[in-house]
Amino acid sequence: MSLHAPTIEQRLRQSLGDALRLAEPLRHHTTFRIGGPAEYFIAPESPEDMARAMQAAHALGLPVHLVGGGSNLLVSDAGLAGLTVVNRCAAIEFDGRAAHVGGGADYLGFIEVCRDRELAGLAYAAGIPGSVGGAVYGNAGCYGQDIGSRLIEGVIATLDGASVTTQPRSWFEFGYRDSRLKREPHALLSCVIELEPGQRSAIQGEIDEKLEIRRVKHPQWRFEPTAGSYFKNLPPGFQVPGLPHSPGTHRIPAGALLDACECRGLRVGDAMVFPKHANILVNAGHATARDVLALAEIMKARVRERFGVELEEEVMFLGERPDLSAVLGQTVA
């Protein structure tokens, strides 16, 4: 009687159990509602399960892709080979003014938990979609503030799950919409955020104010799929004649250049520039990653030709890049 070696799926299931999924559509896990299937998929809810999943993938020679809340992310139409791990580690504990929070915790939900404990310092970020881990990865911020300035330390794991260490803020090398995690990929299992005493009513007032600003100017991402601001603002002090710097950041907004180039309403397939904000792309129906990438290239070309400025993407792309030549040859609506 011949014996057959177990398949990769069988070996993964031996380690990960029924939590493992095959061909999971990643459009269900991004705020853009775009993305092909993950070859293998799991969404661990504890740091131990996160490490176990990455160890299992490494043992089988599979690449690991990390996803948080799925915002600020565009996934290839071809999907992702290997194991995609969505961080669902969402535990939150407090020690005085320090919050110990899992990387998979919802960012707005975390801000509201802090409000309930009368801890201030993050209400400015109300309405930024995604997870705490994703916010740390991209050093999310607005109005001249960012999450990196409040991080005390983070617990990170290598992508093979073999090494779990606690690193201080300095390790992360935070910059504008940037951190060391982008250059040296690790899983952020949890982190400690420093807050300050505040009054619940005042914190709620700031949350309401920021949510209203976003309601008026931004798409409501739960109903109008988007990845948020697509391009980074220009470096501090960069001058473009006729365009002002944003208060508090000393940066010219990418949206100002895109507005000057009449980008609002541009469309490729079902990827469209949001009518109320030139630096936000939305999925107006059944947009593909290819549609989005082509539209972004057209926008960059307009800014390059008029201002000599090369816009840099803030939205991260995962997976195989498509050939855009056929799409870019089409007429843009």
So which residues are the catalytic ones?
Answer: 177, 229, 314
Tokens of 119: 């801890």
CA 29 to chain centroid, in Å, comes to 11
**Cross-strand partners of 40:** 22, 83
Amino acid at 114: C
The length of the chain, given as a count of residues? 333
Which positions ≥6 away from 115 have C-beta within 8 Å?
123, 200, 203, 204, 207
Q: What DSSP state is assigned to residue 55?
A: H
Q: How far apart are CA 256 and CA 187, in angstroms?
A: 35
Q: Would you tell me how many other CB atoms lie within 10 Å of the CB of residue 175? A: 12
Query: Please, how many CA atoms are within 13 Å of residue 301, restricted to the half-sphere of its CB?
Result: 7
